[in-house]
A and B are shown apart, each in its own frame.
Chain A
Amino acid sequence: MSPTLAEEGLTIPDAPTEPGEFELSLRATRESGRKLLIAYVTGGLHDEWPDVVRAVADAGADAIEIGIPFSDPVMDGPIIQEASELALRDGASPVTVLDTLRTIDAGVPLAVMTYYNLAFHMGHERFASLMYEAGVRAAILPDLPLEEVGPWATAADPAGIETVMLAAPTAPDERLPRVVARSRGFVYAVGLLGVTGERDALAESSLVIARRLKAITDKPVLVGVGVSNGQQAAEVSQVADGCVIGSALMRRVVEGEGPAGAGAFIADVRAALDAS
């Protein structure tokens, strides 16, 4: 008989008790009474991507998630798949994206969103230190679940990289506190059953998961996946501390709206959040 995951002896190190730089920054912003907005930008997509990063920072994003494109993005819908494919075709790699990132002074905290095999392949320590040197302080690896996070977290924690965990609507009540305890930077609440992408309306499940998380943690809770515009951002942030916007932004970039269009969209979302 095959062993269960627990029987394989995979250990999950406790997260450091002190918040890291990324989380402290989000907490400070939250305490100032402002709803949190994180914008996702695919790294390496066209030469203009550093300008997109600067534009969304200037337009009011409180932090930016840089996507390092991966060949098999299973948690992503059509827009981010396309953005990733285009960036890979342009020659993007973890090294080129992080090298470029060093030259971007966005003025807001940076996280990396990518898939685990890129970290595994490069080696956990090297990947974590390359990220840190590029100014990144948090990592989101959506295909690395709690049970498997040990080897990565053991390298990332001391390197100054806060590993953000995803909390999904499918998690039973006994699982959520364990996910939250291991999450650093913030808790990424998955807003719906599905992959990233724009939706016509905010899913009821995003309010439910935000409520469940807010009831058990003081860490910043941000909802991502399916938050598509300012109105939805404001709606979900009535419960959550804020939200992550990715596909709606990247669609505009893929369609050629450029840094100006990206900045204008994030400014709209910012305004909606500030007015709520």
Chain B
Amino acid sequence: MPETLVPACQELEAAFREAWADQSFRDELDGLLADYAGRPSPITECHRLSAELGVRVLLKREDLNHTGSHKINNVLGQALLAKRMGKTRLVAETGAGQHGVASATAAALMGMECKVFMGEVDMERQALNVFRMRLLGAEVVPAMSGSRTLKDAVNEAMRDWVATVENTHYCLGSVMGPHPYPWMVREFHTVIGKESREQCAKLLDNEIPDVVTACVGGGSNAIGIFSGFADTTAELVGVEPAGGAAVGRGVPGVVHGMKSYLMQDEFGQVQEAHSISAGLDYPGVGPEHSHLSSIGRARYEQVTDDEVIAAFQLLSRTEGIIPALEPAHALAWISRDRAKLAGKTVLLNMSGRGDKDVGQMMEILG
């Protein structure tokens, strides 16, 4: 983390600590989550999918939130906090564009300026989200360096923040980066876990699912739903793309202000991730996932692009729900391991809807 940003991170930590303990801030955020984002999100029981897989699958429907993904939970929290801190401008990175769209949305809602960095490669495969962000009044800037994907968008957002820190808040989109971000972003997403726990208590005979699963890029939607079940017997399974498996294939490293598992070469140069899903194309992972893995509380599986494409079609066909490619990773794991999971109840965080991916899938599926 550059020295220039250390005072800003310290200021942010103090402001978040104070706001998070302030009932009026919590009430305002809860109000926005309910009346603007549409929370609580339901849990959908997947009857036809479950019959086909022999595994009882429940979906936590974060795809039904306003803007179409879980990202809005974090962004409303951070934008509200930024405003409270007197910042007038948000800068954000985005991979698939979901966090960028959510950031642009929150900025429009609160009358703030917004600049989103997005890898040039991702801008091509997620053109629809680029248009949405611009429609919402945000400036979208291509990250042209390195792999021209999410990692490089984070670099560009940090460089922007180094230059604009006096009036700008860096609205980071996952449970990564320097302290306090991994902690703060998790806190904003614990609403997913809390709701799920209550909903499962009503829905399930033994109140707790056998397995809770979610896709992991940086890991925010996974941390959000895991947080509701960390103190239970439920097995926690994060699913990474095979081409971007920081926990599965990385070693400890330090980049973007955090120490965590990171895909790197023999000298410590950060490697490029390769995945069908722009939102998971990140060679690192939030440090809490590294911790959960090293203490054995969660485990991390890998799936291939082909398995993801099949899962994308499977859910669309059996349940009438077109998933984003990111949560389709978690379903791909359930589908592949269905024999081991037979008879179990699995709660999957359906972190986003698939509209943004339809164009890309049209090309792949012909």
Q: Count A-side interface residues using an 8 Å CB cutoff.
A: 44
In the bound complex, residues from chain B placing their C-beta under 8 Å from that of A122 are: 267-268
CB–CB A77/B267 < 8 A: no
In the bound complex, residues from chain A placing their C-beta under 8 Å from that of B269 are: 70-71, 88, 93, 118
From A72, A147, A167, A169, contact of B151 by CB (8 A): A72
CB–CB B7/A171 < 8 A: yes
From A5, A74, A148, A179, contact of B158 by CB (8 A): A74
B177-190 near A? 1/0 per residue, CB < 8 Å: 00110110000000
CB–CB A72/B155 < 8 A: yes
- A175-B4 Cα distance, complex, nearest whole Å: 12
CB–CB B179/A190 < 8 A: no
CB–CB A118/B267 < 8 A: yes
Of chain A, the residue at the smallest CB distance from B4 is: A168
- A175-B10 Cα distance, complex, nearest whole Å: 12
CB–CB A147/B6 < 8 A: yes
Kindly state whether residue B162 has any CB partner on chain A within 8 Å. yes
Kindly state whether residue B108 has any CB partner on chain A within 8 Å. no
CB–CB A193/B164 < 8 A: yes
B150-168 near A? 1/0 per residue, CB < 8 Å: 0110010011001111100
In the bound complex, residues from chain B placing their C-beta under 8 Å from that of A143 are: 1-2, 254, 257
| Distance in Å: Cβ of A144 to nearest Cβ of chain B | 8
- A88-B264 Cα distance, complex, nearest whole Å: 14
Give residues of chain A (26-83) contacting chain B, Cβ–Cβ below 8 Å.
Answer: 70-75, 77, 81
Of chain A, the residue at the smallest CB distance from B259 is: A120
Q: A residues within 8 Å of B by Cβ?
A: 1-2, 4-5, 70-75, 77, 81, 85, 88, 93-95, 116-118, 120-122, 142-143, 145-148, 165-172, 175, 179, 190, 192-195
Q: B residues within 8 Å of A by Cβ?
A: 1-8, 13, 145-146, 151-152, 155, 158-159, 162-166, 179-180, 182-183, 251-257, 262, 264, 267-271
9 A/B residue pairs, CB under 8 Å, sorted by A: A72-B146, A72-B270, A117-B264, A120-B268, A148-B1, A166-B3, A170-B165, A172-B7, A195-B159
